[in-house]
Amino acid sequence: MKYNADTKTWESLVKLGENDQMSFIVCRGRGQRIQEGKYTLWFCAECFTKFCTPRTPPDYNTVTKENYSEYIAFSQKIKDTPKENIVEVLSANAITFGIPLEYLKGKERLKILEVGCSYGYFTHALRKLGHDAFGIDVSEEAIEFAKNTFGDYYGLKAEGKYDVIVSIETIEHVEDPVGFIKQYVGMLNPNGALILTTPNLEFYFKIFWDLLQKFAQSMETINLKERLHIVETLYKDYMWVTDPPPIHLSLFTHFSFERIAQQNSMHVKFIDLHKQKGEVAPIVGAIITV
């Protein structure tokens, strides 16, 4: 069954268990409740994924307007940029563009679908690079803007098969991440690839750990009350990073995608643009194939 945000509910993705635990669809492991509130936060120690309940996405016509308006100006910049400078402009804007661009090096005239294209700038950039690219998004307003700005190669849904499907920082927004992956892997041509990028929870674990180490080095000069306050503050600040629910519904690691691939007869490899620097990348770049 195809993923459909209108018909799926969070109750179908998670199953309540004993001792404040929940089975999460990413790995079918046991998620531990870490915070209650309007959105309950969970952490799965088996696939190192954080997720929230309930899992109902917001109205993305409103969210796009309020949270991503800066990309309107970037769309105009991409429109005005000549082909020979497109890669440079995209790479300078955000590392997340570098992951699909790295995969596409040396490849020509591919049929590409961008899922979650927002205002259409990356789809248009791919067309400037010579690919047959089409972009889709759940926001009617964003699609209308993209059509008016770039041309009639955008829509609310797509059909057919593609050589490459790209989804840049979208999977953290969706209600059913495994259903999302299965749907678009099913739309690949033979030897095709689904390219996903998403904020890397491991990156924020590393920041949290480094801060704790710095804190530990100065413990002798801080009284117990101050120590507890600092630890509590750090814990709350890193309880959920990036956009809060309901905009982001899940936070992933490399292990998340390895478990999804393993349990669904898929293959995954990663593009890590920080590997040579010995750093933890802020973005996971997963290449999923069958």
Which residue range(s) make up the domain with 141?
A: 60-200+247-289
In a domain? residue 220: no
Residue 2 has pLDDT above 60, yes or no: no
**Which pLDDT belongs to residue 13?**
45
Of residues 32 and 194, which shows the higher confidence score? 194
The whole-chain average pLDDT of the chain stands at: 87
Residue 5 has pLDDT above 60, yes or no: no
Of residues 266 and 15, which shows the higher confidence score? 266
In a domain? residue 39: no
In a domain? residue 51: no
Helix (H) or strand (E) holding 78: helix 70-80
Answer whether 13's CB lies under 8 Å from 176's CB.
yes
Q: What is the torsional sign of CA 101, 88, 119, 271?
A: positive
CA dist list (Å): 257 to 46, 260, 269: 12, 5, 9
Residue 6 has pLDDT above 50, yes or no: no
In a domain? residue 88: yes
Q: Shortest CA distance to 50 belongs to which of 206, 172, 231, 226?
A: 172
Beta bridge partners of 155: 136
Banded model confidence at residue 63, pLDDT cuts 50, 70, 90: confident
Report how far residue 285's alpha carbon sits from residue 273's, in angstroms, rounded to the nearest whole number.
Answer: 9
Q: Per the structure block, which two tokens stand in for 40? A: 């309950």
Say what the pTM is: 0.88
Q: Strands 111-115 and 162-168: what pairing? A: parallel
SS3 letters for 113-137?
A: EEECCCCCHHHHHHHHCCCEEEEEC
Q: Angle at Cα 96 formed by Cα 271 and Cα 119, nearest 5°? A: 140
In a domain? residue 130: yes
In a domain? residue 255: yes
Q: Within 13 Å and on the Cβ side, how many CA atoms surround 260?
A: 28
- Structural domain total, the chain: 1
SS3 letters for 81-95?
A: CCHHHHHHHHHHHCH
Question: Which residues have C-beta within 8 Å of that of residue 281, sequence separation ≥ 6?
Answer: 95, 200, 203, 272, 273, 274, 275
**Which pLDDT belongs to residue 102?**
96
**Which pLDDT belongs to residue 146?**
97
Mean pLDDT for 79-107 is 95
In a domain? residue 165: yes
**Which pLDDT belongs to residue 207?**
84
Residue 79 has pLDDT above 90, yes or no: yes
Residue 3 has pLDDT above 60, yes or no: no
The distance in angstroms from the start CA to the end CA of the chain is 18
In a domain? residue 147: yes
Answer whether 168's CB lies under 8 Å from 264's CB.
no
**Which pLDDT belongs to residue 235?**
65
Residue 249 has pLDDT above 90, yes or no: yes
Residue 20 has pLDDT above 80, yes or no: no
Residue 11 has pLDDT above 60, yes or no: no
Answer whether 188's CB lies under 8 Å from 262's CB.
no
**Which pLDDT belongs to residue 23?**
63
Mean pLDDT for 47-72 is 85
**Which pLDDT belongs to residue 257?**
97
The CATH number linked to 252 is 3.40.50.150
Q: Angle at Cα 8 formed by Cα 30 and Cα 119, nearest 5°? A: 105
Residue 70 has pLDDT above 60, yes or no: yes
Residue 106 has pLDDT above 60, yes or no: yes
